[in-house]
């Protein structure tokens, strides 16, 4: 069964718009962080009662990077933090997903 045939009429256009938006990002690591953030948001929507109408993914990722910086990594300056965060695996105690979840909790 095709996912397009089971979705709503607007879903294919939405998927294309999201894909086009993600393609504008320069680094594959940054695209991956956006996807991770969207997946976490999607899987927690039922638990988030005060989600704003517009969710600023950049703001969430900045918060995640800030939490990463203030964690065990100390203050190395924005460029190193960004690079280190982008190179961190998504899972595990200090994975990007844990910082993204923390940032979403603070955002909402």
What is this structure's pTM? 0.74
- Which residue from 103, 31, 97 is spatially nearest to 66, judged by alpha carbons? 103
Condensed to tens digits (0 to 9), the pLDDT of residues 36-74 reads: 999 898 888 778 777 777 889 999 999 999 999 887 555
- Which residue from 34, 33, 23, 37 is spatially nearest to 85, judged by alpha carbons? 33
Condensed to tens digits (0 to 9), the pLDDT of residues 15-28 reads: 888 888 888 866 78
């Amino acid at each position: 069964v095709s996912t397009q045939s089971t979705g709503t009429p607007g879903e294919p256009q939405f998927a294309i718009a999201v894909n086009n938006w993600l393609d504008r990002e320069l680094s594959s690591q940054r695209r991956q962080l956006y996807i991770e953030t969207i997946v976490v948001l999607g899987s927690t929507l039922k638990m988030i009662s005060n989600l704003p109408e517009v969710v600023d993914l950049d703001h969430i990722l900045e918060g995640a990077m800030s939490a990463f910086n203030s964690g065990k990594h100390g203050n190395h300056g924005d460029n190193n933090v960004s690079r280190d965060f982008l190179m961190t695996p998504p899972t595990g105690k200090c994975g990007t997903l844990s910082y993204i979840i923390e940032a979403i909790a603070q955002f909402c």
